[in-house]
């Protein structure tokens, strides 16, 4: 569905050249759900804008839905759907008018467009707001309207740029429910950008981590976490048992770091343990056998933030502000 | 991979070409017109304004310059076509301001992501600013008949078409200006206003340029609007000659230049 080679975008800002995207190679197969994850300014949106022909690449090539983005941008646009960061509906327009016009823009006739609009309004729970002016919709309703606009022509490949930014958790869940349902019903290929870790983690099957205009990791969220981060294990033992446990955990942690804090006669060890959930029971058994039982144990599965931290040495949560 | 399958049901990948641009223009124009249709009040105001202007400025002009300046005709016959050009000038040069609104939300970007051809975005929007002029022109023409204005319907209609072609060019330039000044809306207004008034005065819309000093007359020759005003005056007086021809040439050149600049700016602007 998507194939890029050495896709590059350079902006010139005040005579200074800024490489926003540095030669990325991306392949997305039909039916995949892929998230571009990275901090603000990493080049996710710029990449997406090149794939949707809103920006011309500086160099490199991209084929989207079988069409070259440089040679035939209009051909690409007629085959894809795009839901941008902003609200797509014109403020002074009525919901139904904008939807029908959108269908017309894609070459649908009025009857088909009206039928499709009604169907989308119903499934996105907007049917009562058909004649409402867009400026009078709530934030969540407007975002659902954006989704409806993006789906009017039933694209087989849909791009979403930061789909849930600024939405409350309930609306976000609601939005995802609609996107997922559409995907199950029509097998739509979906490419989205996000800086919400949880979103990339739970919703997408494949995560492409982008930082400073480059792809630094590309795999399923589960694989990335298992390979790059491992579970976070915290064990508390009595001060007397500490030396024994230090040895045991030190061997388990291998190359990783073993952190140690003490309070109220209790020693707390923390370490990153690849495949920790499987290794933890054995560790506990060894500790028991050594006469150094655990008082308390915590096992936290890794997050994509841990992956990002491992890859870049920075946390994604504060990444935007650095 | 089969391309046809990539296209969704109910939509067709259309071939580029003139037919496509015309069809797209129709859609863009129609979307813009929906705003007027859903809120027709704005049209009523736009009809009242030129009437007020004509009623208040017309008599002053006749008194100040004297009837001889207009070759013995009613000063309305001379002044009314100027008002029509002025409405077109103000209307189509505002094309970009309506776009600014859509630039700030995401709706312009959403439309850019559709297969609509770029020139149709420019033409459709400019035509929307021109469309009310057809009604406005007819209303002020009819309203002026009791005051000595002679109405030549076919000539007037042709005059409106010529000014429409000019308006497409000016609208496209205004559109490009809005894109270039994006994020600095006041710059748009500064440039638009700064250019508008010299263009208007140097075209002889308000007062005959022949009455001005030589340097103004020379400058006016480089103003496309001058040729528009002269053409409209000839047409509104029931004539069809060289002034009209030069007006058509000026309108076509403005349209071609405007669209070329506009399409270029759309393709190179990053949002």
The DSSP element (H or E) to which B257 belongs, if any, is helix B242-268
Q: Is the pLDDT of residue B9 over 70?
A: no
Task: Supply angle C-alpha B264, B7, B103, rounded to 5.
Answer: 35
List of long-range contacts for B249-252, beta carbons under 8 Å, 24+ apart:
B250/B166, B250/B224, B251/B162, B251/B163, B251/B165, B251/B166, B251/B169, B251/B224, B252/B165
Q: Which residue has the tokens 């997305």?
A: A28
A-chain residues near B107 (CB < 8 A) = 86-91
Q: Test A77 with B38 for CB contact under 8 angstroms.
A: no
pLDDT level of residue A322 (50, 70, 90 thresholds): very low
Q: Give the model confidence (pLDDT) of A181-224 as tens digits.
A: 888 888 889 999 887 787 888 777 899 989 888 898 888 888 88
What rounded mean pLDDT belongs to chain A?
86
Is any Cβ of chain B less than 8 angstroms from the Cβ of A99?
Answer: no
Q: Mapping DSSP to helix (H, G, I), strand (E, B) and coil, where does residue A60 land?
A: strand
pLDDT level of residue B35 (50, 70, 90 thresholds): confident
Cβ atoms within 10 Å of A22's Cβ, excluding its own: 16
State the smallest CA–CA distance between residue B72 and chain A in angstroms.
49
Is any Cβ of chain B less than 8 angstroms from the Cβ of A250?
Answer: no
Q: Test A93 with B34 for CB contact under 8 angstroms.
A: yes
A-chain residues near B109 (CB < 8 A) = 54, 84, 86, 88
pLDDT for the residue numbered B229: 93
pLDDT for the residue numbered A80: 93
B-chain residues near A157 (CB < 8 A) = 6
Could you write out the DSSP letters of every residue in A266-293? EEEEEEEETTHHHHHHHHHHHHHHTT--
pLDDT for the residue numbered B48: 84
B247 contacts: CB under 8 Å, gap ≥ 6: B162, B227, B228, B230, B231, B232, B234
pLDDT level of residue B162 (50, 70, 90 thresholds): very high
Distances B15 to A34, A75, B183, B196 between C-alpha atoms, Å: 31, 9, 35, 39
pLDDT for the residue numbered B29: 93
The answer to whether the beta carbons of residues A90 and B39 sit under 8 Å apart is no
The mean pLDDT of B163-185, rounded to a whole number, is 90
B206 contacts: CB under 8 Å, gap ≥ 6: B57, B61, B82, B200
Q: Select from B102, B116, B267 the Cβ nearest to the Cβ of A105.
A: B116
Q: Test A97 with B34 for CB contact under 8 angstroms.
A: yes
Sign (positive or negative) of CA dihedral B216, B218, B222, B228: positive
The mean pLDDT of B49-64, rounded to a whole number, is 79
> Which has the closest alpha carbon to A86: A40, A150, A174?
A150
Residues 160-179 of chain A whose Cβ lies under 8 A from any Cβ of chain B? none
Q: Where are the domains of chain A?
A: 2-225, 230-301
Beta-bridge mates of residue A67: A64
pLDDT level of residue B16 (50, 70, 90 thresholds): low
Interface of B with A (CB under 8 A): 1-3, 5-14, 16, 24, 27, 30-31, 34-35, 38-39, 101-102, 105-107, 109-117, 267, 270-271
Q: Is the pLDDT of residue B13 over 60?
A: no
Q: Give the model confidence (pLDDT) of B180-234 as tens digits.
A: 988 888 899 999 999 998 898 888 888 888 888 889 888 888 999 999 999 999 9
The mean pLDDT of B33-51, rounded to a whole number, is 84
B-chain residues near A153 (CB < 8 A) = 8, 10-11
Distances B193 to B93, B179, B180, B258 between C-alpha atoms, Å: 9, 17, 16, 18
pLDDT for the residue numbered A320: 43
Residues in chain B: 271
State the smallest CA–CA distance between residue A234 and chain B in angstroms.
47
Q: Mapping DSSP to helix (H, G, I), strand (E, B) and coil, where does residue B145 land?
A: helix
For residue A57, what are its two tokens?
Answer: 């690449």
Give the least confident one: A225-234, B7-16, B26-35, B184-193: B7-16
The mean pLDDT of A130-140, rounded to a whole number, is 90
pLDDT level of residue B73 (50, 70, 90 thresholds): low
pLDDT for the residue numbered B2: 36
Q: Which residue has the tokens 């700016």?
A: B265
Q: Test B106 with A94 for CB contact under 8 angstroms.
A: no
Q: Indicate the CATH number for domain A230-301.
A: 3.30.70.1150
A73 contacts: CB under 8 Å, gap ≥ 6: A53
pLDDT for the residue numbered B68: 58
A-chain residues near B16 (CB < 8 A) = 74
Strands A214-219 and A296-300: unpaired
pLDDT for the residue numbered B256: 93
pLDDT level of residue B61 (50, 70, 90 thresholds): confident
Mutation pick from B1, B9, B11, B105 vs chain A, by most beta carbons of A within 10 Å, is B11
A-chain residues near B33 (CB < 8 A) = none
Strands A2-13 and A59-64: antiparallel
Q: Give the model confidence (pLDDT) of A84-94 as tens digits.
A: 888 899 888 99
Mutation pick from B7, B12, B108 vs chain A, by most beta carbons of A within 10 Å, is B7
Cβ atoms within 10 Å of A310's Cβ, excluding its own: 17
pLDDT for the residue numbered B146: 84
Is any Cβ of chain B less than 8 angstroms from the Cβ of A47?
Answer: no
Q: Give the model confidence (pLDDT) of B106-154 as tens digits.
A: 899 999 999 998 889 888 888 888 888 888 888 888 888 888 888 888 9
What are phi and psi for residue B166, nearest 5 degrees?
-60, -40
The mean pLDDT of A291-295, rounded to a whole number, is 86
State the smallest CA–CA distance between residue A74 and chain B in angstroms.
5
pLDDT for the residue numbered A106: 92
A235 contacts: CB under 8 Å, gap ≥ 6: A245, A249, A268, A269, A283, A287, A294, A296, A297, A298
Q: Is the pLDDT of residue B4 over 50?
A: no
Q: Test A79 with B13 for CB contact under 8 angstroms.
A: yes
Q: Give the model confidence (pLDDT) of B233-269 as tens digits.
A: 999 888 889 999 999 999 999 999 999 999 889 887 7
pLDDT level of residue A263 (50, 70, 90 thresholds): confident
Residue of B nearest to A2 (CA): B1
State the smallest CA–CA distance between residue B127 and chain A in angstroms.
17
Strands A189-194 and A157-161: parallel
Q: Select from A54, A107, A116 the Cβ nearest to the Cβ of B112.
A: A54
Interface A-B, measured as beta-carbon pairs within 8 A, has a size of 125
> Which has the closest alpha carbon to B13: B23, B26, B4, B1?
B4
pLDDT for the residue numbered B5: 37
CA–CA separation, B186 vs B169, rounded Å? Answer: 22
CA–CA separation, B34 vs B39, rounded Å? Answer: 8
Q: Which residue has the tokens 């926003």?
A: A20
CA–CA separation, A174 vs A159, rounded Å? Answer: 18
Q: Test B270 with A155 for CB contact under 8 angstroms.
A: no
The mean pLDDT of A46-51, rounded to a whole number, is 91
Would you call A171 exposed, middle or buried from its count of C-beta atoms within 10 A (0-12, 13-18, 19+)? middle
State the smallest CA–CA distance between residue B118 and chain A in angstroms.
10
Question: Where does B113-204 have alpha helices with state H?
Answer: 118-144, 153-180, 185-201
The DSSP element (H or E) to which A37 belongs, if any, is strand A33-37
CA–CA separation, A122 vs A238, rounded Å? Answer: 61
Q: Is the pLDDT of residue B12 over 80?
A: no
Distances A168 to A153, A173, A261, B44, B69 between C-alpha atoms, Å: 28, 9, 37, 42, 70
Q: Test B115 with A112 for CB contact under 8 angstroms.
A: no
For residue B196, what are its two tokens?
Answer: 């508008």
Is any Cβ of chain B less than 8 angstroms from the Cβ of A197?
Answer: no
pLDDT for the residue numbered B57: 79
Domain A2-225 has CATH 3.40.50.300: yes
Q: Test A65 with B6 for CB contact under 8 angstroms.
A: yes
pLDDT for the residue numbered A98: 94
Query: What letter would DSSP give residue B14?
Result: P
The mean pLDDT of B97-112, rounded to a whole number, is 88
What rounded mean pLDDT belongs to chain B?
84
Mutation pick from A11, A86, A97, A102 vs chain B, by most beta carbons of B within 10 Å, is A86
Q: Which residue has the tokens 């008949």?
A: B145
Q: Is the pLDDT of residue A117 over 90?
A: yes
pLDDT level of residue B1 (50, 70, 90 thresholds): very low
Residues in chain A: 322
Q: Is the pLDDT of residue B31 over 70?
A: yes
B-chain residues near A53 (CB < 8 A) = 113
pLDDT for the residue numbered A274: 79
ipTM comes to: 0.81
The mean pLDDT of B30-38, rounded to a whole number, is 89
Q: Select from B14, B39, B107 the Cβ nearest to the Cβ of A88.
A: B107
Q: Is the pLDDT of residue A66 over 70?
A: yes
pLDDT for the residue numbered B114: 93
């Amino acid at each position: 569905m998507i194939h890029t080679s050495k896709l590059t975008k350079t902006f010139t800002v005040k005579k200074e050249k800024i490489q926003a995207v540095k030669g990325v190679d991306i392949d997305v197969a039909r039916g995949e759900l892929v998230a571009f994850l990275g901090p603000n300014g990493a080049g996710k949106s710029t990449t997406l804008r090149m794939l949707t022909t809103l920006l011309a690449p500086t160099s490199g090539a991209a084929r989207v839905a079988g069409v070259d983005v440089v040679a035939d941008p209009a051909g690409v646009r007629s085959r894809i759907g795009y839901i941008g960061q902003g609200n797509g509906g014109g403020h002074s327009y009525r919901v139904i008018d904008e939807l029908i016009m959108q269908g017309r823009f894609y070459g649908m006739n009025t009857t088909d467009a009206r039928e499709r609009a009604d169907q989308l309004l119903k499934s996105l729970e907007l049917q009562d707001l058909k004649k409402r002016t867009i400026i009078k919709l709530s934030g969540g309703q407007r975002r659902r309207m954006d989704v409806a606009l993006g789906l009017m022509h039933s694209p087989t490949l849909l791009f979403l740029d930061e789909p849930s930014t600024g939405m409350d958790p309930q609306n976000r869940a609601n939005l995802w429910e609609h996107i997922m349902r559409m995907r199950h019903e029509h097998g739509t290929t979906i490419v989205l950008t996000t800086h919400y870790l949880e979103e990339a983690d739970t919703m997408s099957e494949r995560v492409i981590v982008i930082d400073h205009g480059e792809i630094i990791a590309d795999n399923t969220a589960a694989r990335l976490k298992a390979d790059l981060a491992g579970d976070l294990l915290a064990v508390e033992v009595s001060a007397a048992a500490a030396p024994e446990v230090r040895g045991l955990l030190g061997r388990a942690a291998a190359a990783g770091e073993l952190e140690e804090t003490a309070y109220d006669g209790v020693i707390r060890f923390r370490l990153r343990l690849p495949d920790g959930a499987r290794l933890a029971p054995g560790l506990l058994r060894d500790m028991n056998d050594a006469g150094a039982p655990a008082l308390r144990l915590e096992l936290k599965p890794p997050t994509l933030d841990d992956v990002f931290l491992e890859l870049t040495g920075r946390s994604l949560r504060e990444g935007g502000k650095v | 991979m089969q391309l046809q399958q990539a296209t969704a049901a109910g939509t067709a990948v259309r071939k580029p070409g003139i037919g496509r641009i015309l069809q797209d223009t129709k859609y863009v124009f129609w979307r813009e017109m929906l705003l007027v249709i859903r809120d027709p009040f704005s049209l009523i105001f736009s009809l009242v304004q030129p009437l007020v202007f004509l009623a208040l400025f017309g008599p002053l002009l006749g008194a100040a310059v004297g009837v001889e300046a207009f070759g013995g005709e009613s000063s309305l016959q001379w002044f009314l076509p100027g008002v029509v050009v002025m409405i077109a000038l103000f209307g189509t040069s505002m094309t970009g301001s309506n776009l600014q609104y859509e630039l700030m939300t995401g709706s312009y970007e959403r439309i850019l992501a559709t297969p609509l051809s770029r020139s149709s975005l420019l033409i459709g929007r400019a035509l929307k600013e021109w469309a009310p002029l057809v009604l406005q022109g007819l209303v002020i023409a009819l309203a002026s008949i009791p005051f000595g204005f002679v109405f030549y319907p076919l000539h007037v209609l042709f005059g409106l078409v010529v000014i429409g072609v000019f308006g497409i060019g000016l609208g496209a330039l205004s559109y490009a200006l809005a894109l270039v000044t994006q994020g600095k809306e006041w710059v748009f207004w500064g440039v638009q206003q700064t250019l508008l008034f010299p263009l208007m005065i140097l075209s002889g819309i308000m007062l005959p340029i022949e009455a001005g000093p030589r340097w103004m007359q020379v400058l006016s020759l480089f103003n496309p609007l001058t040729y528009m005003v002269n053409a409209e005056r000839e047409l509104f007086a029931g004539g069809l000659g060289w002034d009209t021809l030069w007006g058509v040439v000026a309108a076509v050149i403005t349209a071609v230049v405007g669209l070329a600049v506009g399409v270029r700016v759309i393709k190179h602007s990053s949002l």
